[in-house]
Structure 1
Amino acid sequence: MKIAVVFGTRPEAIKLAPVIKQLQNRFETIVINSGQHHNLVQQIIDFFHIDVDYDLRAFVSKDRTLSQLSSMLIENLDRVYSEISPDLIIVQGDTMTTFTAAFVGFLQKKPVAHVEAGLRSFSKFAPFPEELMREMVGRLADLHFPPTKVDKENLLKENIRPDRIFLVGNTVVDALKLGSSLLDEKQVFKELSEYGITPDILKNKKLILITSHRRENIGEPLVKICQSIKHLAQKYPDFIFIWSTHPNPEVKSIISNYMKIKPDNIYITKPISYSTMIYLLSRTFLVITDSGGLQEESASLGIPVLVLRAVTERSVVIDAKAGFLVDSNRDKIEYYFKKFVEDKEFYEKVSNRGRNLFGDGTASIRIRKLLENDEVQRFIKQYPSTEKMNLEHIKEGIEIL
């Protein structure tokens, strides 16, 4: 069986890396990099030693609107699919790459499997455009791999066939485990030294890790976040605040402008590599972010997280009280920060709530086992004339408890 795995952004590449490793041991696996993110994805490819069969970066310009990006991706993915004729297409998450890869698969009547299916914020423009991208992939996909029971229920409420939904956990945990085994501490501190961050600094001070890149935070919300971080850094000089910035020009401009004058315990960095991010997370006291992946990673590692959004599609983190929605509200950010610093019992309770929310790190193995099943392979090979085939009975031994 020939499987095409498509990614184009850093989160997709991270979460599909363990899936690719599992599939390559069993199937003819063709890896396609759409080129949506250029340098950020290459870091992940190099770190996980992924062999890319089709790299479409040359066909995707950096300066383009979302409409232009979708057009470029559709044209080039259509060409690649026509050339390789995959039996199955695997996509992940909620990006433009995810949507167009699934859409072109549908147009060519190829079955599509969706990793990390079913997440919903129920707010059309938050996150934008990811919320609708993920919903549309939910209609296009044929096999759905939700990470949590909540995500599975979302799919069922949208009348996705129950026998096509397989609860497997989140491959973000698999990636964390795999990444931890690969990271090189010397390389980590070589990268951090560019910003004046030394082993002694990390050893002697508690670390706060910050990221913010969502489109809904660009503008006044990001200004408020900057003001909050500066105030916290002044108030808590025994902490260090490492802010890994996003390459988006608007994001960089706002942070650079409002952090020209800042306390010495704030370190503004370029996008931190995944290996360094894993290393820092293992030593982090608190994460402040609007990143979906970091919400999952923080909770899985037992790190409380303040979510810089009004709503989140990772609702399980909030429902479990492993993290808290603070939006760009300075009062909320500073209230919870103070609570974590001063109330040790509260901090420990929050830390323990998230550790098992996203599975045990074997989601990629479950996906591989599912695709090894004879009946699933028959479903894929006979597609699209498989509407009457029921896959419900093969879930035993595959779905996460």
Structure 2
Amino acid sequence: MVPVIKSFRADDAFETIVCNTAQHREMTDQVLEFFSLKGDYDLDIMQKEQSLNGLMGRLITKLDNVLEEVIPDIVLVHGDTSTCLAATLASFHKQIPVGHVEAGLRTYDFTQPFPEEMNRQVCDKLATLHFAPTDNAVAALLQEGVKSNSIFKTGNTIVDAVELALPMIKNNHPRIQQMDSWLNPSSRLILVTGHRRENFGKALLEVIGALKEISELDNVQLVYPVHLNPNVQDPVYDLLGNIYNLLLCDPLDYESFLWLMKRCDFIITDSGGIQEEATVLGKNVLITRNTTERQEAVTAGFVKLVGTDKGKIVKEAIHLLQQSPQKQDKDNPYGSGDAATQILNAVKTHFIV
């Protein structure tokens, strides 16, 4: 949402209030700082070992208080998080229009990703304005009966964010210097992430087994910023903790992570957003999921679904390692970096009409 916030704050037609629920504080705080932004509200919502239902209840209650105080004309939400769903429900209950950024992405499988697929579909049912990043997303919304005059194809704001951030990366950043000193310039570098609930347990063990086998290949290094959830941390550190060419580290700040994405040869992940960021950087991605709501990246040739089968992950990683390390010169299916401007103009049009 950073490019959207910046666009709206730069326009005198709007008073823009930013509410950070801090659902992912380790991500949101440092991103806001990197882009020199500050939220107007911080709900500090997270608790240890919280359930999804407990999180949702607290989100709706605290967001309700914010809406009572601010009385907004419209609420903009992004993506598929619990925050996105809670803000949509809280606004709907107060009959406040909602604009959903990144509307229309679908797997049509409520278990993959869980609970994000359900979150996104409910948000789109309740939203007034739908900012769809691609033709596929527009088509999904139309098929579900969403009125065409409420749908705006905008491209994805993640393209705006990456293009805004790349010139801001500083090579003297301490985390970047630390990683750069560990990396061997002559080795092929694979970036790894993983956090999906549906991959906890047996599926994650398969992925870990694949990473261990890949690490045994010649001239390869892997960097794995490990998600803080104990369901990820415990097996990853237990099984991959002492491999000389596999660096396990805490989650990275946005600047360092973007530098690493730019530096790596390809990525192994179950993330959604990374699939889109990789298209901006021209990187191949192996997705450790059986389905994706970002099919455009698959069709364009940036992304390949490999599931969580150890053999398939290793096979596809070897295939990519056998190719020359070079940026993929393909058209980006997620737009040209002007999504935030298009969203701003769509909201203006809504209020003028």
Q: Could you say whether these structures have the same fold, taking a TM-score greater than 0.5 normalized by the shorter chain as the test? A: yes
Distance in 2 of aligned mates of 1:122 and 1:368: 29
Secondary structure of the 1:169 match is: coil
After TM superposition, the score normalised by the length of structure 2 is 0.95
AA matched with 1:19: V
AA matched with 1:367: I
Distance in 2 of aligned mates of 1:62 and 1:24: 34
Distance in 2 of aligned mates of 1:96 and 1:360: 28
How many pairs align? 351
Alignment match, 2:189:
207
1:60 and 1:69 in contact (8 A); partners too: yes
1:212 and 1:245 in contact (8 A); partners too: yes
Alignment match, 2:79:
93
Aligned-residue identity in percent? 34
Distance in 1 of aligned mates of 2:193 and 2:310: 16
Question: Are residues 1:351 and 2:328 paired?
Answer: yes
Alignment match, 2:275:
295
Question: Are residues 1:367 and 2:343 paired?
Answer: yes
Secondary structure of the 2:17 match is: strand
Secondary structure of the 2:145 match is: coil
Question: Are residues 1:25 and 2:10 paired?
Answer: yes
Alignment match, 1:49:
36
Distance in 2 of aligned mates of 1:64 and 1:146: 32
2:228 and 2:250 in contact (8 A); partners too: yes
Q: Note the 1:152-191 alignment, pairs <5 A.
A: 152-187=138-173, 190-191=174-175
Per-residue CA distance 1:43-77 (angstroms, 9 max, x = gap): 111111112101000x5423310000010011010
Secondary structure of the 2:19 match is: strand
**Structure 2 counterpart of 1:35, from 18, 22, 31:** 22
Gaps of 5+ in 2: none
Question: Are residues 1:256 and 2:237 paired?
Answer: yes
Alignment match, 1:377:
351
The structural deviation recorded for 1:272 is 1.1
**Structure 2 counterpart of 1:245, from 220, 226, 229:** 226
1:299 and 1:305 in contact (8 A); partners too: no
Alignment match, 2:119:
133
AA matched with 1:365: T
Q: Note the 1:200-239 alignment, pairs <5 A.
A: 201-236=183-218, 238-239=219-220
2:21 and 2:59 in contact (8 A); partners too: yes
Per-residue CA distance 1:352-380 (angstroms, 9 max, x = gap): 34x4111011101111122233xx1145x
Q: Note the 1:68-79 alignment, pairs <5 A.
A: 68-79=54-65
CA separation of 1:186/1:141 partners in 2, compared to 1, >3 Å: closer, same or farther?
A: same
Distance in 2 of aligned mates of 1:88 and 1:19: 14
CA separation of 1:200/1:218 partners in 2, compared to 1, >3 Å: closer, same or farther?
A: closer
After TM superposition, the score normalised by the length of structure 1 is 0.84
Alignment match, 1:392:
none
Q: Deviation above 6 Å: which 4+ runs of structure 1? A: none
Gaps of 5+ in 1: 1-15, 380-401
The structural deviation recorded for 1:284 is 1.5
**Structure 2 counterpart of 1:327, from 307, 314, 338:** 307
